[in-house]
Amino acid sequence: MESSLVAKQANKLIESVYRMEVEEQKLILLATRKINELELKGLPFTPETEVVITADEFAKIYGVPKQRAFEALTSAKNTIYDRSFEMDYVGNDGVIKPISSRWIHAKGEMKSKSEVSMFFTPSVIPYLYLVVKTEFTLLDLKEVGRLKNKYAVRLYQILMKWRNAEYQPSFPVESLRRKLGLEPHEYKQGGDFNKRVVGVAVDQINKGTGFVGLKAVPLKNGRTIVAYRFEFDSYDNKTINITPLSKNGAERQPRENNGEFVLHQMTIEQIKTFSNQIANKVVEGEAGFSHLSTKVAAGSSGKELVAAIAKDLQNANFDEYLEPLKILGFKPTKVNKTPLGAKQSENKGGSTNDTPPDKKSPFNLNEKHYQMYLKKGGKKSRDDIVRIAMDEDTTTLQVMNSDGVGNIFAM
């Protein structure tokens, strides 16, 4: 096959990687490293070659917990299996024809070993070595692991080719869009592209890699951005001074162990307020929020992003939101710090005497008191009363007495 066609096919394979989500890209990067090791050892790489990636490897290289690593591997492997891309081949008649090919033709996983397996297709294998050499040999996978956005991973790949160049690169907007793997309909507005793609990527690369002082300089024709020049002071991953994606510089800890910032649940009003505030910061490309831009598909509206964030908060999926909430000044109250299971058991465990609840358990709701409250015209549910008491750090009795019904003990 002519070298020009080989290069063209390799480029199509690379473009297919650009369009992958960030965890898929990371899995492909690990797989290509395994493939490169096969070549160095002189071992064959065929459609029957099993490429095995373990959760331990993924966790160690990309800096994530092992359980999360296996979940990411499984999901990414399944998505890659479903992906296809267009390429050309030379038919028996010598004519170049278009075909659609998959990346892998078989997949597997072993939960007992926390590993996944992939078998690459015959049409991909001839070009993978070239892809490895031209695209992936320069990459520091530990740096890739600190990037949470697919556009950040791709821009990092681009910039690594220029890290030792005598001048710093600039790209026309359309060329940059293609290099980052954007479809024509994604982030069509210049402001969206600048904030949610370029701005987010630059922010993560500055915080998580050896690029020092990276900035995207927009080049304009009048008021329109026509190109971007990427400037950086230096690249040094030997004495790297990383600004961590979380302020304490460590892997984000589970919410119940994250110092005093304990978060088990949020009220409806808190969810409404902070989902909007967080979404606004994501759209604006604020530091500390950019990793949440992947919560919705490219091109989604701000309302869709708010809804996705609110859903996470409602489902108590707080791990990715601890740092953004801290930045926004959120301070957990007792209701936020109380595990859902504990609150529910407290709701049912009231005493049966007429005395106010014991100070050691001010959030217990006395059933007899609640019935007296209802007879006085009270409208709040048991859960609402307990939640308000916890939120305001008072007793359930005080909540009922302050609800416009007067003293519930008064006749």
353-367 mean pLDDT = 49
The residue written with tokens 């951005």 in the block is: 225
Enter the tokens of residue 292.
Answer: 């949440």
Chain segment 104-121, per-residue pLDDT in tens? 999 999 988 899 999 999
Residues 18, 66, single domain; the answer is yes
d(CA 36, CA 189): 40
Question: Residue 322 pLDDT > 80, yes or no?
Answer: yes
Of the listed ranges 38-42, 199-203, 319-323, the one predicted with least confidence: 38-42
pLDDT at position 403 is 75
Q: Domain range holding 201?
A: 140-242
Q: Regarding predicted confidence, which is higher, 12 or 177?
A: 177
Whichever domain contains 120, its CATH number is: 1.10.10.10
pLDDT at position 335 is 74
Give the mean pLDDT of the chain: 77
> Residue 189 — φ and ψ, nearest 5°?
-70, 135
Domain membership of residue 408 (yes or no) is: no
Enter the tokens of residue 42.
Answer: 């002189």
pLDDT at position 356 is 40
Domain membership of residue 250 (yes or no) is: no
**Alpha carbon distances (Å) from 405 to 367, 400, 409:** 17, 8, 11
Chain segment 294-306, per-residue pLDDT in tens? 777 655 677 888 8
Chain segment 131-167, per-residue pLDDT in tens? 665 555 456 777 888 888 889 988 988 888 777 766 7
Q: Regarding predicted confidence, which is higher, 7 or 149?
A: 149
Residues 116, 234, single domain; the answer is no
pLDDT at position 265 is 84
Domain membership of residue 394 (yes or no) is: yes
Residues 237, 365, single domain; the answer is no
Residues 144, 127, single domain; the answer is no
Q: Looking at the 3D structure of the chain, how many domains does it have?
A: 4
Question: Residue 78 pLDDT > 90, yes or no?
Answer: yes
Classified as helix, coil or strand, 25 is helix
81-101 mean pLDDT = 81
Domain membership of residue 337 (yes or no) is: no
Domain membership of residue 392 (yes or no) is: yes
Residues 203, 159, single domain; the answer is yes
Residues 7, 100, single domain; the answer is yes
Domain membership of residue 100 (yes or no) is: yes
pLDDT at position 170 is 84
Residues 376, 301, single domain; the answer is no
Question: Residue 54 pLDDT > 90, yes or no?
Answer: yes
Whole-prediction pTM value? 0.49
Domain membership of residue 406 (yes or no) is: no
Question: Residue 190 pLDDT > 90, yes or no?
Answer: no
d(CA 234, CA 242): 13
Domain membership of residue 161 (yes or no) is: yes
pLDDT at position 96 is 79
Residues 225, 153, single domain; the answer is yes
pLDDT at position 199 is 93
d(CA 331, CA 262): 9
Residues 120, 185, single domain; the answer is no
Q: Which of 304, 332, 360 is a domain's end point?
A: 332
Residues 131, 148, single domain; the answer is no
User: E-strand spans in 29-169?
Assistant: 51-54, 84-90, 96-102, 104-110, 115-120
Percentage of the chain beyond pLDDT 70 is 75
Residues 24, 115, single domain; the answer is yes
Q: Which of 332, 360, 385 is a domain's end point?
A: 332
Query: CA 25, 30, 34: angle at the middle one, nearest 5?
Result: 140
Enter the tokens of residue 89.
Answer: 């081949």
Classified as helix, coil or strand, 212 is strand
- CA torsion sign, 392 to 398 to 400 to 404? negative
Question: Residue 208 pLDDT > 50, yes or no?
Answer: yes
Q: Which of 294, 311, 332 is a domain's end point?
A: 332
Residues 114, 46, single domain; the answer is yes
